[in-house]
Structures are given as structure tokens and as C-alpha cells.
Amino acid sequence: MKFQRDVYIAGVGETKFGKHDVEYDVLGRAAALQALRQSNIHRPDIVQSAYVGNGTNGIVTGQTVLKDLGMCGHMPIINVESACSAGGMAVYMAIRDVSTGFTDVSIGIGCENHTLHMQSGTAFAPAMSDIETMHGAVMTGKYAMRAKRYMYETGATIEDLAMITVKNRRHATNNPFAWFKGEISVDKVVNSRVVASPLTLQQCCGIADGAGAVVVCSAEMVKKLGIDKPIRVAGAVVQSGPFHNRPRDITGDDITESSAEQLYAESGIGPEDVNIVELHDAFTIAELLYYECLGLCPKGEGLKFLRDGNATHGGKCVVSPRGGMLSYGHPIGASGAAQIAANVKQMRNQCPGYQVEPAPRVAMSHVTGGGLSGTEHAACTMHMLVSDW
């Protein structure tokens, strides 16, 4: 997206992730209310558009979330579905509204409750017309194949993959919003129940519930609202995965690579300038592959990047400082918005006990969405944030 004017994040909100006994709309309202209050917004009519990302909880989800906040009736509320990319895409749409001058204040929300509705141990329902998923190529199986190939080509071991879970759980140790956190040993990760070899239970994100929300506004509204530490949106990208049936390098990710290239070009920021990244670590192998796809290290050097400690505190770029999906779990419609909320809090030095030091100046988020025969992913959403103060 080429911005027509500067866009800033005024406030963010997130709920604790995990199993909740309240519906998605309650979670979405809680996150939205936090974001509005942090933005010094106390009248609902100040917000001029809203986008709500959700994957599985039915129809008119946005209106259901926002009706009890008095936000129905005076503005467009648009519902966004793009599997795991839905929450990030909702924030992207809010940014686009402000960037083009359509609005001065917009909100993007992602929310989901899976555990009230999904039977334990089941996978997400496949697209009925998709030949791969109908024959059992669910996400865990696909990433298991990618892990096998990466291990074959690089010499990576299952213990290397397990180190990503160990790292991300350690990052989340003092994070009150994370579901799984604290010390876990490589042996415990490796020896947990096999889900799809070589991926074990502790190498897969949990199916969770939760919500995130982001209020964006123009430079003029930053002043009017009295926002002390606005975060500038330096870039925002949404792409749909290229479709073809030719052979693919499954140790890469074409949509992530092209989205990252576009984001770096449009923001004027390179991977070497990024201090923290929240990426789509739904499985351990995903984070390892994305080091390379995002340009954090050269192709083929992701394993070295991990082993050298470059993805944690004191390294080149702290990856998943909140703990990532491996610690939070993954409510598919919520994760993208929650990633952005977590990055903003890190940049504002608001993460006691799990704060990256010094507070990051440049933060990036990355979330893919959906699998489809002939594509790596149906969608990819990325954002680049900068603190200019």
C-alpha cells in the first residue's frame, strides 16, 4: 500500500489467549475497549470505520462485537475473513481508510473463540472444493513435510526445531497474555506426543481463543486525542498467494518472500533495521523457514541464525518476543491483530518482565492465511511500525 498521508497507531488492546468460556464477541469488545481507552476515545462516534476479522464464528461478527459499545448505526462495520490472516487484514483495512483520507480514525479488530465450538483434536474444516485438503493435507501435515525436507537439506535435527519452542516459551515467561509459558526442556518437546512426524505436540500451536484490537488515526487526530507515544505505520502489505501447479521449494515460502520485499521497498526499511518480529510460528519449522523468507538471514542460514542466538534477546532481531503462537496459541481470526498490539506495547516499553531492551524502534509483523491447492498460502499480511519519538 502506498500511503497518501501518515498513519499512526493511537491505542491497542488484547485479551489473554487460551480457553475462554465467553463468546468471541465478548473477547472482541474487551480488546476494542482497551484500544479505545488507550486512544483517549470516550465517544463511539469519533471512530469512523471498523473492520473485524474472524474465521469460524458465523455471520455479522463485527456488528455483534461492536453493538454494545454504541458503535453501530453511524459508520461502516465491515467483516473480514481470510483464515489466519483475518485480524491482520482487518488492521490493514483500517490503515488504508486513514491513509487515503476516507477516515481520520478507524479500528481493526481480530477475535475468535474456537474451543466453545470445536471438538478437541479436530482440524479446521477444509474447503469442500480443495483437492489437497479433502485428501488429508491439513496444515500440520504440510508443515511436517516442510520440516522433513528442511532437515534433509540442512542437517537440522529435531532438537534444533525444539529449541524454537524452548526460546518462545522462555520469552513468554512473564507475559500475562500468553497461554503456555516458562521453562521447557528440549527433551520434553522432542518426547511429547507425535502429531505429524517430525512435529510433536509441543512444536504445534494450541487451538485457542482471544482477541486483539488496534486504533489508527491521522497525524491531526494524534494531536487532538493527545496521544503521547504514537507509533507510525511505515508500511502495510496484503498479498494473495500465486497459484500454479509447478514444483515448489517447500523450504521457502513464495508469498512471504514477495510480501516482505514489497514491505521493505514501500517502508524504506530493510531487514537489518528491524529490532523485533512477530511472525507466523504456528509450528516450529515455520519460524525457522521464515527467518530466511523475511531476509533476517541469507537463504540456507536460518539454522545458523537460530543456533547463534540471533533470534532472542541480545541477538540481531528478537523473534516472537511475546512468545509467538507457540506460547499464545492461535485463534485464527485474532492472531494478526494481537501481534500488532504486542509490538506496539514493546515499542512503548509497556512489557514488564518480558520487555526487549532497549525498547525497539522498528517492529514488523507477519501472518499468513489459509492453505489452498496450488498456493503456499491464500493470503499474507505484513506491517512495519516505527517509533519516531
Provide the 10 A C-beta neighbour count for residue 184.
17
Angle of helix 335-347 relative to helix 24-38, nearest 10 degrees, comes to 30
Strands 379-386 and 231-240 come out as antiparallel
Query: 342: part of which helix (H) or strand (E)?
Result: helix 335-347
Q: Is 317 a catalytic residue?
A: no
Whether the Cβ atoms of residue 254 and residue 297 lie closer than 8 Å to each other: no
Q: How far apart are the first and last CA of the chain?
A: 24
What is the largest distance, in Å, between two alpha-carbon atoms of the chain?
58
The H or E element that residue 346 is part of is helix 335-347
Nearest to 132 by CA among 252, 248, 240, 239: 248
CA–CA separation, 186 and 164 (whole Å)? 9
List residues bridging with 211 in a β-sheet: 111
Neighbours of 127 (CB within 10 A): 16
**CA atoms within 13 A of residue 386's CA, in its CB half-sphere:** 14
Which spans in 248-321 are helix H?
254-267, 284-293, 302-307
C-alpha cell belonging to residue 102: 476516507
Q: How far apart are CA 263 and CA 269, in angstroms?
A: 8
Length of the chain: 389
Closest CA relative to residue 62, chosen from 48, 72, 73: 72
Nearest CA to 357 out of 319, 313, 309, 296 is that of 313
Q: Which of 72, 84, 204, 297 is catalytic?
A: 84
Q: Which three cell numbers stand for residue 300?
A: 540456507
Active centre residues (catalytic)? 84
